[in-house]
Copies of this chain bind each other. A is one copy, B any other.
Amino acid sequence: MIENQIPDVVIGRLPIYMLRLNQLLRDGQQLVSSAQLAEMVGIPATQIRKDLSWFGGFGKQGSGYDVVHLLDRLKTILNLDRIWQVVVVGAGNLGKAVVEYDGFRRKGFEIIAAFDNEPSLIGSKVGHLVVKSMTEMEACIQQNQVLIAALTVPTSAAPEVADKLVRVGIKAILNYAPVTLRMPDDVQVSYIDPVLSMQKMTYYLPRE
């Protein structure tokens, strides 16, 4: 994590706030109090206010936060006031699911290419894309100045492929492989592993 003023945990909560604010926006609500938002996200109101105050106050005493304005500010803070291009590396089942999932596009992440080095996959269609060879990856990433990659290759290949991605300019990796990546400080890594989440939950389940 890059050394910074604002705690990482706070940054992590902002997207959650955005999710609920978008919901309020769709419902046509114009103002929201920290208490109401708290109720929606299951986080204390005082913590929400504190989180937001890191970026300066944008609420109004007595009435609360303007939904549109707050959403707009959060978008800007999180650099989400633009479209981000994303490449998917690894076009197996998992990669396919990532490309075909439209949640990314809906939130401003455009998947522009999918790569694999398995000859049988290259040239095949995945969603709206045609799978490209890994040899084309570097050129594609650099030409489009892509900064974000989703890594869906087999675990054994993940560290090596991640290194390569960083070498060609990637600064954020959404890693679906269950392996810890050792990356330079200016490269972000997020781990997506539903199995780990399940393994945590079983701790709390009755032993029967």
**Chain A residues near B (Cβ < 8 Å):** 1-2, 4, 11-12, 14-16, 18-20, 40-42, 77-80, 84, 86, 93-94, 97-98, 100-101, 103-104, 107, 109, 145, 147-148, 150, 171-172, 174, 178-180, 182, 188, 190, 192, 194-208
Decide: B97 and A202 in contact? CB cutoff 8 A: no
Known: A79-B203, A172-B202. 17 other contacts (CB 8 A): A15-B199, A16-B196, A19-B178, A19-B179, A77-B203, A103-B178, A103-B195, A109-B198, A147-B206, A171-B206, A172-B198, A172-B204, A174-B197, A188-B205, A190-B194, A190-B197, A192-B192
Q: How far is the CB of A77 from chain B (nearest CB, A)?
A: 7
Decide: A40 and B202 in contact? CB cutoff 8 A: no
Docked pose: A53 CA to B181 CA in angstroms: 26
Q: How far is the CB of A196 from chain B (nearest CB, A)?
A: 5
Copies in the complex: 2
Decide: B174 and A194 in contact? CB cutoff 8 A: yes
Decide: A104 and B180 in contact? CB cutoff 8 A: no
| Residues of chain B with a CB closer than 8 A to A4's CB | 204
Docked pose: A14 CA to B52 CA in angstroms: 32
17 A-B interface contacts by CB (under 8 A): A11-B200, A12-B200, A14-B203, A42-B182, A77-B203, A78-B200, A78-B203, A93-B100, A93-B101, A98-B194, A103-B194, A104-B195, A172-B204, A172-B205, A174-B197, A174-B201, A188-B201
